[in-house]
Structure 1
Amino acid sequence: MDDTRCSTSSENTIELPEILTPKATRSAQRPTKCLICGGVAAGFHYDVPSCNGCKAYFRRYIISDRNLKCKNKQDCFDLTIREKPIKCRPCRYKKCLDVGMNPLALEVDDKQADAGNFKKVTKRIKDQEENEEKEESGQSKQLVIQKIESMHEKIQKITDMLTYLESKLEQFQLSAYNPNWVDIQGIEYLLRSANRISLADRYGPMPGWPLSNDEYTSLPPSVIPVVRKGPPPYSPDKKHWLYFNLITNIEYAKTFMFFHKLNSRDQFILTKYVTLACLNLHVSYASVARKFDCRIQPDGLKQPVRDEDHYSNSVMSIIPLIRYEVQATEYVLLKAICLCNPAVPDLSEHAVVLLAKERQVFAEALFDHCLRNRTNGPSHFSDLIGIIDVLERQQRMQKDLHLLHIAPLVAKAPKEFKIQVIEDIMDS
């Protein structure tokens, strides 16, 4: 016989005490002792092992109007202080009730059911059952309330953490930290190094921001002319925003605990796939929050100009944010959902399971927020999740545009013109 199966041999059978044995098991066993008088039991009567005499006595007394009282200490049938009970009718009846004889198990006619003792005991039982049901119902409601409150507290902690993280990202973008792209040797270099967001405190804010329009005149209006001439000369007080925003969103991913549970290969694959989508959402929401319908960078630079190649795909993620009036909490949760993408190709099974679990947490938080704060909660949640499809289409268009127009030019340009972080992200 298979060792994993339960054994049914007699040597492994555990005998439960008679009073603790389940009713279905007790009914299949013949009781030996009457729980009322201590005599020989004839079977289970009214749910209790008892002799025929005690069975008959209980029936006679309960369908009567008798109200007898004990002339002793009301312990005549207490077998813990005497071997044999004293012949006392009220104590015998009381003992029947104490050991659990069930009056509702009696078959009675209308006249017998109207007897004083039967009505009194059955009412007491029904009242007790109702009280227990109310108590259980109250406990259940309390547990539900506690669970809802606990869930709300958990969701609040998540949204508070994400909101705080966004404030640190904004501070990072506005900081004077502005590394030359020659110093950042691609995604792997960023993933191996310490998180840079805290550098904002060390460097402080960039002086003189936002820049005036005159200060942008030397900057090319679109990416393609930049590549043809090489990237704009590095300036410590002006940032190459595609490059810097990619760094910002890679550092954003590195702040999550689950990200560090991924192996280096999965981190690299996930970063290449989701960073541009997170960047688009990040920049688009920041622009909409500042009442713009086009991209605007932290220093005040509007990008891009309204040219055919770039404008339409750059505002793809702005339009739904305006249409659905996306709130700050919805934005931070949606961005976290976008980061935790288990559908990224070539991820390990471990990564897929981990990302799916994390995405579910943020999705539940977003759904709860929509239910609490939107009159059309479920449909609004669906609209927000649909923005992720827009982000993925947008990044696909941007990567195709880069590979078609820019990558060939980068390949011919001198090495110092190549921004490796951009090439790593776009080459996927």
Structure 2
Amino acid sequence: MAPAITLAAEAPKLSAANTGFMLICSALVMLMTPGLAFFYGGMVRVKSTLNMLMMSFISLGIVTILWVLYGFSMAFGTDSGSLIGWNSDWVGLGNIGLTELWPGYTIPVFVFLVFQLMFAIITPALISGALADRVKFSAWALFIALWATVVYFPVAHWVWGAGGWAFELGVIDFAGGTAVHINAGAAALGVILVIGKRVGFKKDPMRPHSLPLVMLGAGLLWFGWFGFNAGSWLGNDDGVGALMFVNTQVATAAAMLAWLIYEKIRHGAFTTLGAASGAVAGLVAITPAGGAVTPLGAIAVGAIAGVLCAMAVGLKYKFGYDDSLDVVGVHLVGGVAGSLLIGLFASGKGQSTVEGLFYGGGLTQFWKQCAGVFAVLAYSLVVSAVLAFILDKTMGMRVPEDDEIAGIDQAEHAETAYDFSGAGGGAARTAAAAAAVGGAESKKVDA
């Protein structure tokens, strides 16, 4: 009998389908940053709308350039000490071949790096919601550059980079529960503890100026999040990305309903702001967990996160920290919940065979999740607070109190979100209407 012939496994080949799929997912994730800008922009008072939009949009510019220069190399280059990566060939992205594949996958390196770039962009933008009304735009821009360099790029390597300590430990983070949401939420808490409260916090009404804008932003986030989550499997060959897509929808729906039920019981009304916030809480929580749980598990993850986040947003009044738009309450708490619940609800039938406590796997994975969650939380909290302290003591982080009271839009951007001074509109229209009404009343009296 002739000896058996063993064939080497075929090397992956570029897949036009997966490449196109991932480019679409990258565009969807990019759309999330403008969506976030609208979501946050509608939640602030009218005098801060443009500043809130700009705090997200500027991240598109700054982080993109840093990613090309060195960020991609730091996050996904050759591991050094399980803490940071580096690949000199990726500095400036000039030595990457057009058809060079990301190791083990069927998509080009350029496709992988642009997908991950969109994650790097939105993460510091998430922080901005906690700092509404009171931060110098120049200081914020510099903070983004420093924070991305010393916090986001290293943490992304820990969680997703080959050789990163969390990656090697087996911490499950499908699309960014630790690297994105806990990272941003902890950073927000660190910064607001340094820069302090808004003028009038807990005294003046600080209601959202445009709830339709909030709902538009939430809808864009929900839409873009399908690319954020399903795309994180880097292909569409084995059904895991489809599972993540389904779980993203399911958990978001469950969280929105859970938040609304909680606030109806607690406050007596179903609010549009609650619906939007609940949806985002569900999106945050399912981000790390969606590839590991079943759709029923996704309902549980979403519902638990919806209630926990609804409860958490009120803690700022109890403890006195001014988290303007509830970044800590939604992103930090939601990210922690979703990450830890993997240790309970992982089914072993999704992205891996890892099983959680409720599926007979014990608490092994839960403790791994704890290690990832609390390490990222502590690192981001401390380093972000230090960066904010340094910037505050050098260039100053906050605008002058008079500018904050008058409106940060005019002070920092020399613009206002809404111009009612045009002929025939706004104040002129109101004055004309008042005059017309007054004239009519005068005629009635004369008659």
Q: Same fold (TM over 0.5)?
A: no
Structure 1 or 2, whichever has the larger Rg, is 1
Is the helix fraction higher in 1 or 2? Answer: 2
TM-score range, shorter chain: under 0.3
